């Protein structure tokens, strides 16, 4: 695989501020590492509080004009952004594969198309949304909240950017984006794409850098009205603390340890393999990955055999290969974390069904991890409680449906959940008892209109569809309107 970023624009060491590419206040850079080779691909500019100040000033100046634009004008811009994402999908997919190790087939089939869907949905929601309703003489009016600071993660880089940027600008807000410093290449391409779509200067601004420097400056900035962050619980808590003195709105999509409850009447031959693949999708680097498979104790041996067969058939390899299903873990720190947690599982006495510590056979470099399945896991074990964020599945047995629900809820998280069963009434009843923001029954198709967000320590607020759009709006009541 090449170690050069083939789409590396001359702007990689600049920031997109006020409608153009601008150099950073200080000439510091951050290395971008190819996780498949561990080689440095390129360097990007490292931002500072001074760069955040310039970006926020641009967004603040642009807000009155952008918030007053017509719905039709905003719909047209979003339509152009959507069109350009699809036109440039191969360049975006290649950047994603290079910066975070996504298998190229997965980047093409999922990472880029689903990112485009967030833009389409924001456009379509905006085109029919009623910003004012009058009831009993009082007008209930929804207005853009203002300048929004958006902080996105490294695991779904483009997808999470569009999930925040699209509804924010659709609502009439202006934004300052801080993409992850670990996977910033697709963000550079997106910034150029937004520019080419004709978005007015200052509506979209982007500053690369660390959370400790750029993220903290954004969270504390008095001229930012809202922060939306997707990331770790630690990062979410730090952002909320920094934002507290200015009493800005903070929405957070944080960690998860999602359950997948297989009810006694489930078709196990059909339910287990997709459950394994859902847990391992994106190399297990998804906050909502169903990494706890909760199964009837008397079917445990059958589930283990099905899970092992599925996991052992997964092709791990060079993300540029069309045959690869799972590429490497996205960065060294996360690779080390996954390896530590696999060792923890062994030390806790969980049964290793397949996989285990170390790289797969034939790999001496790159952050490649063996797809790993543990069984006979107790809910009190660390591997059942802590987010591992890698291709590691825990199979937990239960004796009654009530116990299955209790295990599903035995977590500080509450982002997602799955229920598998042929009796739909029972599946629905179990889903209603799971304390999570989104529960999927029998592996349905992804719905970009379905609100996504967490209970408990998985965060607050919602993304996607109408509910995600409304996060960027304030509510005003005009009493005596008529």
pLDDT digits over 365-388, tens only? 999 999 999 999 999 999 999 999
Task: Assess whether 247 and 388 both reside in one domain.
Answer: no
Task: Assess whether 271 and 196 both reside in one domain.
Answer: no
Task: Assess whether 324 and 193 both reside in one domain.
Answer: no
Of the candidates 148, 181, 213, 287, the residue annotated as catalytic is 287
Q: How many domains does the chain have?
A: 2
Residue ranges making up the domain that contains 190? 10-254+458-478
CATH code, domain with 314: 3.40.309.10
pLDDT digits (tens, 9 = 90+) for 303-313: 999 999 999 99
* 1 domain residue, yes or no: no
CATH code, domain with 211: 3.40.605.10
* 180 domain residue, yes or no: yes
Task: Assess whether 171 and 101 both reside in one domain.
Answer: yes
Question: Which percentage of the chain shows pLDDT scores above 70?
Answer: 98
State yes or no: pLDDT of 4 exceeds 90: no
State yes or no: pLDDT of 10 exceeds 90: no
Task: Assign 11 a pLDDT band (cuts: 50, 70, 90).
Answer: low
pLDDT digits (tens, 9 = 90+) for 23-65: 999 999 999 999 999 999 999 999 999 999 999 999 999 999 9
* 472 domain residue, yes or no: yes
Task: Assess whether 201 and 263 both reside in one domain.
Answer: no
* 168 domain residue, yes or no: yes
* 378 domain residue, yes or no: yes
| Residue 143 among the catalytic residues | no
Task: Assess whether 270 and 135 both reside in one domain.
Answer: no
Task: Assess whether 384 and 290 both reside in one domain.
Answer: yes
Left, alpha or beta for 459 (phi > 0: left; psi -120 to 50: alpha)?
left
* 25 domain residue, yes or no: yes
The pLDDT of 112-130, averaged and rounded, is: 98
Task: Assess whether 236 and 317 both reside in one domain.
Answer: no
Task: Assess whether 273 and 343 both reside in one domain.
Answer: yes
| Residue 173 among the catalytic residues | no
* 269 domain residue, yes or no: yes
pLDDT digits (tens, 9 = 90+) for 341-363: 999 999 999 999 999 999 999 99
pLDDT digits (tens, 9 = 90+) for 275-305: 999 999 999 999 999 999 999 999 999 999 9
Q: 3-state SS of the chain?
A: CCCCCCCCCHHHHCEEECCEEECCCCCCEEEEEECCCCEEEEEEECCCHHHHHHHHHHHHHHHHHHHCCCHHHHHHHHHHHHHHHHHCHHHHHHHHHHHHCCCHHHHHHHHHHHHHHHHHHHHHHHHHCCCEEEECCEEEEEEECCEEEEECCCCCHHHHHHHHHHHHHHHCCEEEEECCCCCCHHHHHHHHHHHHCCCCCCCEEECCCCHHHHHHHHHHCCCCCEEEEECCHHHHHHHHHHHHHHCCEEEEECCCCCEEEECCCCCHHHHHHHHHHHHHHHHHCCCCCCCEEEEEHHHHHHHHHHHHHHHHCCCECCCCCCCCCECCCCCHHHHHHHHHHHHHHHHHCCEEEECCCCCCCCCCCCCCCCCEEEECCCCCCHHHHCCCCCCEEEEEEECCHHHHHHHHCCCCCCCEEEEECCCHHHHHHHHHHCCCCEEEECCCCCCCCCCECCCHHHEECCECHHHHHHCCEEEEEECCCC
Task: Assign 1 a pLDDT band (cuts: 50, 70, 90).
Answer: very low
Of the candidates 99, 117, 253, 304, the residue annotated as catalytic is 253
Task: Assess whether 441 and 314 both reside in one domain.
Answer: yes
Task: Assess whether 412 and 317 both reside in one domain.
Answer: yes
Task: Assess whether 150 and 248 both reside in one domain.
Answer: yes
* 413 domain residue, yes or no: yes
């Amino acid at each position: 695989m090449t170690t050069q970023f083939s789409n590396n624009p001359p702007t990689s060491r600049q920031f997109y501020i006020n409608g153009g590419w601008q150099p950073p206040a200080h000439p510091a850079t951050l290395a971008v590492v190819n996780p498949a080779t561990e080689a440095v691909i390129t360097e990007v500019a490292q931002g500072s509080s001074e760069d955040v100040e310039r970006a926020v000033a641009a967004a603040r100046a642009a807000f009155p004009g952008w918030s007053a634009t017509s719905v039709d004008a905003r719909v047209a811009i979003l339509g152009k952004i959507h069109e350009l994402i699809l036109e440039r999908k191969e360049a975006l997919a290649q950047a994603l594969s290079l910066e975070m190790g996504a298998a190229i087939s997965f980047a093409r089939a999922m990472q880029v198309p689903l990112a485009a869907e967030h833009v389409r949905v924001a456009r379509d929601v905006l085109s029919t949304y009623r910003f004012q309703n009058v009831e009993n003489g009082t007008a209930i009016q929804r207005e853009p909240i203002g300048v929004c600071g958006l902080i996105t993660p490294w695991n779904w880089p483009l997808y999470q950017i569009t999930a925040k940027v699209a509804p924010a600008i659709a609502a009439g807000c202006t934004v300052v984006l801080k993409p992850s410093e670990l996977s910033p290449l697709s963000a550079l391409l997106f910034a150029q794409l937004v520019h080419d779509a004709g978005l007015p200067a200052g509506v979209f601004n982007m500053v690369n850098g660390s959370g400790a420097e750029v993220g903290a400056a954004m969270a504390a900035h008095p001229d930012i009205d809202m922060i939306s962050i997707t990331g770790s619980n630690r990062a979410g808590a730090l952002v909320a603390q920094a934002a507290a003195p200015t009493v800005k709105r903070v929405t957070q999509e944080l960690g998860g340890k999602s359950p997948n409850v297989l009810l006694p009447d489930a078709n196990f031959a059909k339910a287990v393999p997709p459950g394994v693949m859902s847990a391992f999708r994106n190399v297990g680097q998804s906050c909502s990955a169903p990494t706890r498979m909760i199964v009837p104790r008397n079917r445990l041996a059958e589930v283990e055999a099905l899970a092992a067969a599925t996991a052992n058939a997964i092709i791990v390899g060079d993300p540029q290969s069309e045959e690869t299903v799972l590429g490497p873990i996205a960065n060294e720190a996360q690779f080390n974390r996954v390896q530590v947690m696999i060792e923890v599982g062994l030390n806790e006495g969980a049964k290793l069904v397949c996989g285990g510590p170390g790289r797969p056979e034939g790999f001496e470099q790159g952050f490649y991890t063996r797809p790993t399945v543990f069984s006979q896991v107790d809910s009190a074990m660390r591997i059942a409680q802590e987010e591992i964020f890698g291709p590691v599945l825990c199979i937990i047995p239960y004796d009654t449906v009530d116990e299955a629900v209790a295990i599903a809820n035995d977590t500080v998280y509450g982002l997602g959940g799955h229920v598998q069963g042929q009796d739909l009434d029972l599946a629905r009843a179990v889903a209603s008892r799971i304390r999570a923001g989104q529960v999927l029954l029998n592996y349905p198709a992804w719905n970009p209109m379905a609100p996504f967000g967490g209970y408990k320590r998985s965060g607050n607020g919602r993304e996607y569809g109408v509910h995600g759009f409304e996060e960027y709006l304030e509510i005003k009541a005009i009493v005596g309107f008529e």
